[in-house]
Amino acid sequence: MRIAQLAPPWITVPPEGYGGTEWVVQQLCDGLTALGHEVCLYATGDSHTAAELRSLFPRQMPDQIGVTAFDSRHVSFAFADIERDAFDLVHDHSGFLGIAFSRYLATPMVHTVHCAFDQVAAGFYAQFADAVGYICISEYQRSMAPPGMRWAGIAYNAIAVEQWPYTTGKDDYLLAFGRVCEAKGFHHSIETAKRLDRRLIMAGVLQEPYRDYFEEHVEPHIDGEQIVYEGEVSDARKRELFAHAGAFLFPITWPEPFGLVMIEAMACGTPVVAMRHGSVPEVVDDGATGFVVEPDDLDAFVAAVGRVWQIDPAVCRRTVEERFTVERMVADYEAIYRRFLAR
């Protein structure tokens, strides 16, 4: 197949730091190319891919995330280029614009929904329910979608398992990792560490809209000893933090559409303790790869963190090797493309 992959325009593929969608796009492009498909990736010029790279913007611009002037230009550049070429399929990951203007494209399009269906997203997708073929990244995400969406399939996200260091030798700290915002429950992680008198290392990007949350609920607790915040760390440091943590804490407060960080922890043999929101029960097997407690039940959460010694790191790793590999994700997408084009 000749496939055009349309990434968002703000973050390089693969990302240097934050960027779940960009990791998925990178692995999908490389995997499809390895299977012999002709893949063209529309992404920023500093991206690295086995596919052919076509770009309007030479470099990433993470400080401009959400500024529509940039995705408007990126998507219209890609559409014009796609129209001059002969693709079998366009696979859009770029947010809303690709869908909104898909009717002007002769090539069939599928779109992976990478976000949660909050009010704004649900309104958008309801308006464009049958514009393209939609792909979800968890059953829970699909269950929250507005009615009538034209689903082409489900493809759980994945990671390159072999690139995540597996270790059974854990240090004494607990880990909270991700975008620092209320949805990811950093305040619950802090409270948990304090109640258990354990060390907590937090790391992850602080985006401007969440600065108030950080200043009110996170920053006052940071003492640099028991409660540590390392900011946005390098890729190498991230893998080290996941590998050596005693447990990965995921006390989220939102309908997580997938949650790559859970499988990143599991690949390192690190148990996940999570609150049951969104995709969590589809990713973490309660009692086997971690513990899943009811939302907002912090007592149960704290108790579960105290029991992580019961979790076998080898089972965590094996679960990712069985269910969340890049090979499986690429095969899922390939099957979805074929079904969609044969419809």
Whose CA is closest to 95, among 7, 24, 3, 208?
Answer: 7
Residues in the chain: 343
Looking at the DSSP bridge assignments, the partners of residue 203 are: 177
- What's the alpha-carbon Rg for the chain, to the nearest Å? 20
Q: Which is nearer to ligand UDP, 37 or 114 (CB)?
A: 114
Q: How far is the CB of 10 from ligand UDP (least distance, A)?
A: 13
Q: How far is the CB of 1 from ligand UDP (least distance, A)?
A: 27
C-alpha span between 11 and 61 (Å, rounded): 6
Which residues, 122 to 181, sit near ligand UDP by CB under 6 A? 178-179
Q: Which is nearer to ligand UDP, 127 or 163 (CB)?
A: 163
User: Can you read off the two tokens belonging to residue 239?
Assistant: 């893998």
Q: Which is nearer to ligand UDP, 32 or 283 (CB)?
A: 283
3-state class of 102 per DSSP? helix
Q: How far is the CB of 238 from ligand UDP (least distance, A)?
A: 5
Quick one: CA torsion of 168, 174, 179, 182, rounded to 10 degrees?
Answer: 140
The answer to whether 167 and 243 have CB atoms below 8 angstroms apart is: yes
C-alpha span between 46 and 63 (Å, rounded): 16
Q: Which is nearer to ligand UDP, 227 or 260 (CB)?
A: 260
Which residues, 170 to 229, sit near ligand UDP by CB under 6 A? 178-179, 204-205
What residues contact 57, with CB distance under 8 A and at least 6 apart?
9, 44, 45, 70, 73, 74
Q: Which of 8, 14, 19, 185 lies at the binding interface for ligand UDP (CB under 6 A)?
A: 19
Q: Which stretch binds ligand UDP (CB under 6 A): 14-22, 147-155, 268-276, 293-301?
A: 14-22
Q: How far is the CB of 217 from ligand UDP (least distance, A)?
A: 17
Q: Which is nearer to ligand UDP, 31 or 89 (CB)?
A: 31
Q: How far is the CB of 232 from ligand UDP (least distance, A)?
A: 4
277 binds ligand UDP (CB under 6 A): no
Q: Which is nearer to ligand UDP, 108 or 165 (CB)?
A: 165
Q: Which stretch binds ligand UDP (CB under 6 A): 12-20, 76-84, 140-148, 215-223?
A: 12-20
# binding residues, ligand UDP (CB under 6 A): 16
Looking at the DSSP bridge assignments, the partners of residue 109 are: 90
Q: Which of 10, 23, 70, 96 lies at the binding interface for ligand UDP (CB under 6 A)?
A: 23
Q: How far is the CB of 138 from ligand UDP (least distance, A)?
A: 10
x/- binding map, residues 226-265, to ligand UDP, per CB under 6 A? Answer: ------x-----x-------------------xxxx--x-
- Alpha carbons within 13 angstroms on the beta-carbon side of residue 161 total 22
C-alpha span between 179 and 17 (Å, rounded): 11
Q: How far is the CB of 137 from ligand UDP (least distance, A)?
A: 9
User: Can you read off the two tokens belonging to residue 223?
Assistant: 């003492």
Q: At what angle do helices 313-323 and 260-267 cross, to 10 degrees?
A: 130
Residue 14, preceding peptide bond in cis (omega within 30° of 0): yes
**Site residues for ligand UDP per CB under 6 A:** 17-20, 23, 178-179, 204-205, 232, 238, 258-261, 264
